[in-house]
Amino acid sequence: MNVLVIGRGGREHALAKKCSMSKRVQTVFVAPGNPGMEDVAELVPISEENHYELIAFAKKHNVSLTIIGPETPLVNGIVDDFKAAGLQVFGPDKQAAIIEGSKTFLNKLMKTYRIPTAAYATFTDFETALLHLDKVGVPIVIKADGLTDGKGVVVAHTKEEAVEALLELLVQAKFGEASTSVIMEEFLEGEEFSLMAFVNGKNVYPMEIAQGHKRAFDGDTGPNTEGMGAYSPVPQIPKYVISDAIELILEPAAYAMVAEDRSFTGVLYAGVIVTNKGPKVIELHACFGDPETQVVLPRLKNDLVETLLAVLEGKSYELEWDTASVIGVVIAAEGYPDEVAIGTQLVGLDTISADLDIYHSSTSKNENGEFVTNGSRVVLATAKGKDLLTAQTLVYKELEKIHEEGVFWRSDIGYRAIQYDFS
């Protein structure tokens, strides 16, 4: 069969690579992809936004399964359009993707169905939001209501930071329509982890957990980012906490969507924090996480395409996992998460050992056919080992081969788990 993956980042590269390993698959297409994916897929120069050209391509090339990577086309109804054209597609329809498209909807859903999360309030008026800030104080989490490519969340530790965030979102409309409404949430402290599951209605198939590093610099310092690296497994999170998160968060969320007549099919991603009152939701998304996907899928022993087909059919299906550890380190363009320059050559990337997997997020090729930066998070380098320390040692040894001019990366991905293992 032929498979089409829609998207252009590292998550989609990981999906395409896993699909290319399937005994069921003849050709993997990625639309639009990026040049770094040519090792596992054929690139299709059609934007994620162009639903009807993508449908025409899928029909012309006998695509049996389309997998949607990013959240924006899901919220815009791409799954509905593919289904209407009689094509098999993996991802939530527009009615269900609202769980990603509106944080106000999500918070109301969690409140109604008693899914544990932070206390929150929603505001559309700057002055009213300021009054609430005076009442609850800091630290506080401030989120744009709509889609912001992971950039609309501010963790404010001072009142000045909170006021600045509210000004940018509500008054200056930093994210346009997406920030006409903001959510102000209670700041929660504790160990965090990412829990993804394949879902079809009330059928929930949990994956192994991962932990990401959101802060830009070592020691979890600096500004928040979309993710500077991740690893799996997460030994410092007890198994009973993971079981609680499945029973208190993922399964109730899936049931809630069915009850709301918005039955969800796709991947539910829960960002979870372990509090003294049990696991609580930090965020809930309607698609694979990035960079968590790049460290979780390499541990999946099942054929991914067979897995997705079984989920779509609602079959009883058991996921099997490699006991090995995977660590992924993001190489980001200098200046990230703010403005970055593009066109920096990734000197030394071609000398990285084949023992590492390189997932391309924002690369292009120059006139000499060399990879150059084409965005903020450029590539993610992953290593697998018998334990996290082995994987960490391998990935950083290989990253020494890359010339650092114009790019940077954290040197401590996985440190929380490794400290735990050796404490």
pLDDT at residue 152 in the model: 85
User: With bands split at pLDDT 50, 70 and 90, how would you rate the model's confidence at 151?
Assistant: confident
Domain boundary among 288, 313, 338: 313
Q: Which residue has the tokens 């409404």?
A: 181
On the question of pLDDT at 75 being above 70, the answer is yes
CA distance 147 to 151: 9
The two three-digit tokens of residue 205, written as one number: 């198939």
Shared domain check, 40 and 18: yes
CA distance 183 to 188: 15
User: How many CB atoms within 10 Å of residue 3?
Assistant: 27
- Span 283-306, average pLDDT: 97
Q: Which of 387, 388, 383 is nearest to 358 (CA)?
A: 383
- Would you say residue 293 lies in a domain? yes
Shared domain check, 304 and 349: no
- Would you say residue 275 lies in a domain? yes
- Please, are residues 250 and 266 in contact by the beta-carbon 8 Å criterion? no
User: With bands split at pLDDT 50, 70 and 90, how would you rate the model's confidence at 423?
Assistant: low
Shared domain check, 200 and 298: yes
Pairing of strands 140-144, 182-186: antiparallel
Please state, rounded to an integer, the average pLDDT across all residues of the chain: 96
The two three-digit tokens of residue 337, written as one number: 């998460």
The two three-digit tokens of residue 110, written as one number: 């969690």
The two three-digit tokens of residue 409, written as one number: 């990366």
Q: In which domain, by residue range, is 362 found?
A: 325-421
On the question of pLDDT at 146 being above 60, the answer is yes
Q: pLDDT tens digit string along 323-352?
A: 999 999 999 999 999 999 999 999 999 999
Pairing of strands 278-285, 221-224: unpaired
- Please, are residues 162 and 155 in contact by the beta-carbon 8 Å criterion? no
- Would you say residue 97 lies in a domain? no
Shared domain check, 244 and 175: no
Shared domain check, 298 and 222: yes
Q: pLDDT tens digit string along 5-17?
A: 999 999 999 999 9
Shared domain check, 45 and 18: yes
Regarding pTM above 0.75, the answer is: yes
Q: Which residue has the tokens 């009689």?
A: 86
- Would you say residue 318 lies in a domain? no
The two three-digit tokens of residue 61, written as one number: 């090339």
DSSP state of 147: -
pLDDT at residue 420 in the model: 78
Q: 251-259 vs 103-112: helix axis angle to the nearest 10?
A: 100
| CATH code of 83's domain | 3.40.50.20
How many CA atoms, within 13 angstroms, populate the side-chain half-sphere of residue 85?
24
Shared domain check, 263 and 300: yes
Looking at residue 239, its amino acid is K
Q: Of the ranges 178-182, 406-410, 412-416, which one carries the lowest mean pLDDT score?
A: 178-182
User: With bands split at pLDDT 50, 70 and 90, how would you rate the model's confidence at 256?
Assistant: very high
143 bridge partner residues: 153, 183
| CATH code of 280's domain | 3.30.470.20
For residue 319, report the phi and psi dihedrals to the nearest 5 degrees: -85, 140
CA distance 363 to 377: 9
Shared domain check, 139 and 216: no
- Would you say residue 397 lies in a domain? yes
Residue 212 vs residues 71, 114, 130, 176, 412: alpha-carbon distances, Å: 19, 26, 31, 28, 12
- Cα 188–chain centre separation: 21
On the question of pLDDT at 421 being above 70, the answer is no
- Would you say residue 376 lies in a domain? yes
Q: Of the ranges 40-44, 129-133, 151-155, 393-397, which one carries the lowest mean pLDDT score?
A: 151-155
Shared domain check, 224 and 300: yes
CA distance 255 to 279: 18
Q: Which residue has the tokens 């490699």?
A: 322
| CATH code of 399's domain | 3.90.600.10
- Would you say residue 113 lies in a domain? no
- Would you say residue 118 lies in a domain? no
pLDDT at residue 422 in the model: 62
Provide the number of structural domains found in the chain: 4
- Span 105-126, average pLDDT: 95
Q: pLDDT tens digit string along 171-225?
A: 999 999 888 999 999 999 999 999 999 999 999 999 999 999 999 999 999 988 9
On the question of pLDDT at 150 being above 80, the answer is no
User: With bands split at pLDDT 50, 70 and 90, how would you rate the model's confidence at 114?
Assistant: very high
367: burial class by Cβ within 10 Å (0-12, 13-18, 19+)? exposed
- For 147-245, where are the alpha helices, taking DSSP H only? 159-166, 239-245
Q: Which residue has the tokens 């993956």?
A: 5
Shared domain check, 290 and 202: yes
Q: Of the ranges 1-15, 66-80, 141-155, which one carries the lowest mean pLDDT score?
A: 141-155
Shared domain check, 196 and 157: no
Rg of the chain's alpha carbons, rounded to an integer?
21
